[in-house]
Every structure is written in C-alpha cells, then in structure tokens.
Amino acid sequence: MPPEAPPPPLRLTLDLDALVANWRALDALSGTASAGAAVKADAYGLGARRVAMALRGAGCSDFFVAHWSEAVDLLDVLPAGNIAVLHGPQNPADAVFARDNGLRPVINSLHQARIWQEAGGGVCDLMVDTGINRLGLPLADLSDPVITGLQVDVLHSHLASADEDVPQNEAQRLRWLEAQGLVQHRRASLANSAGIALGSAYHGQLTRPGIALYGGVPSAALAGQIKQVAQPEAQVIQTRELEAGDQIGYNATFTAAEPMRVGVVSLGYADGYLRCWSGKGAMLADGLRLPVLGRVSMDMTVIDLSHAPQVGEGDWLALDYDLPAASALTGLSQYELLTSLGRRFPR
C-alpha cells in the first residue's frame, strides 16, 4: 500500500443542510410537480454520491446524469430505476448495460430508439427538442413507429432561455404541450432551475433543478430562497512583508504603494481559481475581506493581509464565493464556478 499523504492545503465544505433546504424550496415552488435533481458532472463538481444520498434522504426520487459512467458511481446509493441517463444509448452495449442495471435511458433520436428497442426495450425517457437544438427529437419524428412503440416514463424537453423573459420560453412550452399529445407517457418535464420560477404552466409532473440546488441563483425570482452550499477554503502557506515599490506576481501587475503585509495562499488556476480573479477576488477571515493582489498563478494566489495581523501561516481562509456575486465579478457563469473547481479540493 502506498503511504497516506498529508491532507492538501485546500478543502471544499459542502453544507448538506443548505442543499436539502434548496431542494425543498424548489420542490415547493414546483407546485403539484415533484422536483428531481441533476447530479451530472459529479453534482456540478460537489460530489454526486454525497449529494444524491442527502437528497434521497430528503425525499427526492429522480436523478439525472449525463454519462453511463456517472450512473455507475451511484448504483449503490440510489435505486437504479431512479437514475436517468440524459445522453442515451450510443450503441447496443449501452442499451444492454442500461437494461442489466435498471437504468432509464433518455432517448434522443430515432437511432437511439432503434438501439433501445432492438436490445429488448423497457421503460425509458424521451427528449423532444422544442427549440434549443441540442439533443432531442423534432416533433415531426414523434409519429414514427419506433417512437410510438416506446414505454416512456418521462417526456422531456429543455428550455434554452429560462433565465430571461423572452418569447422563446412560451414558444417552447407550446411545442412541449404539442409533443405531449403525440406520445404516450407517464410524466412530462420541461423546467430546469430557472424554468421552475416561470410558473406552473412549465412544471408538468417533474422539474429538473440543477444549479439552484447547489447555491446558484439563475433567476431573480429565486433570490432570497436559495442558500449557499459550497464553500471553498485554502491555506496560507507563507506571509511576507513588502516595501513600497515591491511588485507581486507574473508581469508585476501590482506594485505596493506603501509597506504592507501579504499572504501566499495555496490556490491557483489549476484548482479552478482562474486568472479572471486576478486583482478582483478576495479571501475572508473573521469578517474581513482580504483582496487578491496581482495575477493568480497555477498553484498560488497572493492576498493583502495589511489589516489582518491575526492571519498567519497555516491558517485557513474562505474564498469569497457567493455564486451570483462571483459570476458578476468574474464573467464566469455560476455553472463554471462550481464545475471548474479542481480535483485537489477534497469533496
């Protein structure tokens, strides 16, 4: 056995109570529909197994992943029939794997429907494209015999602009309603996190929140109802005293105007703390905001400790990482802020 390494100077705290509170709020906002949970991309980077177990305990019974490998990681913590794989079967082996493990493939094309039927079929979901032009069948294909022969649990579509007040939302909703009249199904689903806030006409019987579960606020209507879930933290690995005129980091983008104390934090763009935080981001200690100075490096970021004499080497600092505010500051989407957090953060 290899030796156990010391813990890294990074950590990502997951507030499971806030996660569950967010799901319950979104489930309540879904009205007569039930809220599921998008746990693809390792639950948006936060750890799909822990997230899935917490949400299942809270009453969530529908979970969505993108890849078959993501479903494998959840088979021992979720009932297989509760897991839908959004990208569907690409080949007969995928279909056999789904049938053997009780997973629900989301059928996105006539080709995938044939793969599923030729493998023996069974319960599946069906994605209809109503205007986003990614995965999904056009309405014209819904009368094909290979589709009418499917055993559809959830008839899905996906909103392209639910976070905006645009006519496209209503156009997609009407096409989704049309699709419901063309395909036999048990449940229908259209709304993502922002779509939930559009109201009951968009809910069907199942909603599919993702980013809002994890602390994102994709719609102003959700502000004040969503709690922060993820808190990245990093350790100070060195403190330094600078003189006026000393410069910091690559390309010397910061010059000290006066003597100051700074800290080098074990965090950088390899960890998902990208260069767009340079000169903009901050760490938090005892209620104090400690600005980032100069350019973010691959593994290190320098912060201003001039007004935080209590912070020393080995101390932990929280990143100022409220998702809506961080998105506005950096230009990164709230999704990118979570999914880009690197593997050196223990989940």
Mean pLDDT value across residues 81-92 = 97
Sign of the alpha-carbon torsion through 170, 176, 179, 184? negative
User: Based on the domain organization, do 143 and 187 belong to the same domain?
Assistant: yes
How far, in Å, CA of 131 to CA of 168, rounded? 8
Cβ 326 vs Cβ 256: under 8 Å = no
How far, in Å, CA of 201 to CA of 10, rounded? 44
Mean pLDDT value across residues 266-295 = 97
Residue 59 pLDDT exceeds 90:
yes
User: Based on the domain organization, do 52 and 156 belong to the same domain?
Assistant: yes
Domain that holds residue 257: 230-321
Mean pLDDT value across residues 189-215 = 98
Tokens found for residue 84 = 């839908």
**250 an active-site residue?**
yes
Residue 229 pLDDT exceeds 90:
yes
Of 216, 247, 263, the position where a domain reaches its end is 216
Q: What DSSP assignment string belongs to 247-302?
A: EETGGG-EE-SS-EEEEEES--GGGT--GGGTTT-EEEETTEEEEEES---SS-EE
User: Based on the domain organization, do 137 and 193 belong to the same domain?
Assistant: yes
User: Based on the domain organization, do 205 and 244 belong to the same domain?
Assistant: no
Give pLDDT, residue 317. Answer: 98
User: Based on the domain organization, do 306 and 189 belong to the same domain?
Assistant: no
Residue 16 pLDDT exceeds 90:
yes
Mean pLDDT value across residues 70-93 = 96
8 domain-assigned: no
Q: Among the residues of 122-197, which ranges form H helices? A: 145-148, 167-180, 193-196
Q: Which of 202, 250, 269, 273 is catalytic?
A: 250
| Cα–Cα separations (whole angstroms), residue 177 to 202, 217, 344 | 10, 27, 45
Mean pLDDT value across residues 86-92 = 98
1 domain-assigned: no
User: Based on the domain organization, do 238 and 156 belong to the same domain?
Assistant: no
User: Based on the domain organization, do 212 and 256 belong to the same domain?
Assistant: no
55 domain-assigned: yes
How far, in Å, CA of 95 to CA of 249, rounded? 52
93 domain-assigned: yes
280 domain-assigned: yes
328 domain-assigned: no
Mean pLDDT value across residues 72-94 = 96
Q: Among the residues of 104-192, which ranges form H helices? A: 110-118, 145-148, 167-180
Domain count across the chain: 2
CATH code at position 51:
3.20.20.10
Q: Which of 40, 202, 273, 321 is catalytic?
A: 40
Residue 80 pLDDT exceeds 90:
no
Residue 265's closest CA among 218, 298, 217?
Answer: 298
Of 216, 249, 277, the position where a domain reaches its end is 216
User: Based on the domain organization, do 205 and 275 belong to the same domain?
Assistant: no
Residue 206 pLDDT exceeds 90:
yes
User: Based on the domain organization, do 113 and 234 belong to the same domain?
Assistant: no
Residue 51 pLDDT exceeds 90:
yes
**40 an active-site residue?**
yes
List CB contacts of 132: < 8 A, sequence separation 6 or more.
158, 159, 160, 172
Q: What is the pLDDT of residues 117-175, one digit of tens each?
A: 999 999 999 999 999 999 999 999 999 999 999 999 999 999 999 999 999 999 999 99
Q: Is 251 left (phi over 0), alpha (psi -120 to 50) or beta?
A: left
9 domain-assigned: no
Residue 347 pLDDT exceeds 90:
no
Give pLDDT, residue 162. Answer: 96
Percent of the chain with pLDDT over 70: 100
Give pLDDT, residue 2. Answer: 85
The pTM for the full model equals 0.95
Burial tier of 189 (Cβ tally within 10 Å: 0-12, 13-18, 19+): buried
User: Based on the domain organization, do 173 and 278 belong to the same domain?
Assistant: no
Residue 1 pLDDT exceeds 90:
no
Tokens found for residue 124 = 């599946």
User: Based on the domain organization, do 234 and 104 belong to the same domain?
Assistant: no
Give pLDDT, residue 281. Answer: 97
User: Based on the domain organization, do 208 and 242 belong to the same domain?
Assistant: no
Q: What is the β-pairing status of strands 260-265 and 230-242? A: antiparallel
Of 193, 216, 239, the position where a domain reaches its end is 216
329 domain-assigned: no
CATH code at position 293:
2.40.37.10
